[in-house]
Structure 1
């Protein structure tokens, strides 16, 4: 039985559609709530697949949230071992930090549904199903610089770095392809203060879900399955 470990930073930003997808591929999946529970560095090194999820803190917030430094260090060890690793939003930013790249505020919030543009490398990557312009869920205010040795896969007009790959074993996504849109209300509630500060009406986001949910869920499964096929074969 293959093992997968997910590091979660807030309860509602969980594995989403990835949970049943991984279980269908034969993984036993465990989630650790980082900050509430200690950073499981040994388990992060040992599992077949590590997934680092999103959250509202920053990848350099060590002074305020001391566990962040330990998490980044354990991610660096995982990357050095070239074992399968998926980072989403904060997870991708922590990967970038672990690889020596800067992570910084954008000065604006990128929140809502919008398509990404693939680079030439992205069009030949597991992200290829998103070349059709399917809008994905963006929810971040920080950005990372492209890490040394990484392939730049995607961008938007707001954020020049939306996805990167290290070989076939590591993938960082700035956007939330894992989100189950049937549970978006939990995001709207949990991030109510952030939405209000950014001047974003949650009703506008909620209204887009019925038209997008089925198509986006299908594309997300295609992307994740394609990446896992490559990562498991590496």
Structure 2
């Protein structure tokens, strides 16, 4: 067995060293990139929101800072009947008019008593309905993973069309974050008995609030595309 394995490894090494770096780069370039997944809508905001719904998340939209905190407050009241929420030390979160919606954010990492957290995504991927979070003081990993409900704010100007675009975006970051998390829906697993269980390794619920200059019909179109109307 060892002799056979040694022979196989030798063949692999021989193949790898038989081509120059230029030949390898040329071959990779010739392969091109694979086709992207078809988007459910041409309009990126509606397409992103539809994919969030298809991933098991929930959505709302807000076109102003006041509307953003009101959307957070509405979700908190409907789900938990509370006005408390954990938030990272993100300047964008700190600048929101929380008091206008009667909310009391606690800035820092989520603890065992925090049921809900809110984060501001660094970017998001239309193709998959995913959000990109850069972990650190401004966005602690605990806030993404240890709460029951995770609310993520996404600026419509931060939407990236495909995962390839997201990879390029990450590569162009000026400063390397502590970590990069690509989140696509609430936590779920079917490891045991092929039974889908939510919240096994993270939040049970995942709510996206898309902010900014969003087309008026984007949310309604997204629900139609996801088959929810």
TM-score (norm 1): 0.30
Using CA pairs below 8 Å that are at least 6 residues apart, which structure has the higher relative contact order? 2
Larger radius of gyration: 2
